[in-house]
Amino acid sequence: MQKENIVPESRDNAFRDLIIKTPGGRNIPTCMQCGICAGSCPVNHEMDYTPRELVRMIQLGLKKEVLSSNTIWICTTCFSCSVRCPRGIYPTELMETLKPIAMSEGIRNRNAKFDNVFADVIKKNGRASEFLLISKYSISEPGMIKQAPFGLALFSKGKLPLSIDKMEDVRELDAIFKLGEKSVDKEAKESTVAKESKETAPERSPKENEGQEAEK
């Protein structure tokens, strides 16, 4: 599929630096665009940007384009890209880093529905339940009706149990979720502050720069 060239509205180096500090992003500057990650990805045909393209976009600080991309939500966390990248970049972890940032920035993507339903089920019960997951997701995604025969076949073979396994004390899990949300908010704030301080820093004249060089 022929893709349109990206015409960036702006580049955000603070965003790039923030992502490079995360576990999945440490080696992003060394990406050589070999495409092994994209070639290994089983769902790249559904993504608007392949993992290779996403890594390049982060190098360029294309924050808005990266966070609005459906790639981060389409990823199935299969880890094929991460185990094969010759530069030790972990696109899988990268996707998980980018999701909460996109959410904290208020960027909505229709492909985030499944993640939201999954998180909701876990938050309420502390355990995954296939039945709850499929029924809740089907309500929010009308296209799922086509999967009804498959769901019934699973149910008839006992692969879709109606019983819901629940954690003893869900409050502990709630505290973990809150901690995670706090840390995401903190990272988003730091990114904004770093960006603003770069934008408002007065530009040094060539003479001032020469002076600083001489001092060194």
Query: Which residues are at the interface with ligand SF4 (CB under 6 A)?
Result: 31-37, 40-41, 43, 51-52, 55, 75-81, 85-87, 89, 91-92, 95
Question: How many CB atoms neighbour CB 100 within 10 A?
Answer: 16
Nearest to ligand SF4 of 78, 179 (CB atom): 78
CB of 145 to ligand SF4, least distance (A): 26
CB of 67 to ligand SF4, least distance (A): 16
Is the Cβ–Cβ distance between 58 and 66 less than 8 Å? yes
CB of 215 to ligand SF4, least distance (A): 39
Helix 13-20 to helix 170-200 angle, to the nearest 10 degrees? 140
Nearest to ligand SF4 of 85, 132 (CB atom): 85
Nearest to ligand SF4 of 59, 192 (CB atom): 59
Burial of 116 (0-12, 13-18, 19+ CB in 10 A): middle
Nearest to ligand SF4 of 19, 132 (CB atom): 19
Residue type, 113: K
CB of 119 to ligand SF4, least distance (A): 18
Cα Dmax for the chain: 79
CB of 124 to ligand SF4, least distance (A): 27
Nearest to ligand SF4 of 47, 122 (CB atom): 47
Q: How many residues does the chain have?
A: 216
For 155, residues 6+ apart whose C-beta sits below 8 A from its C-beta are none
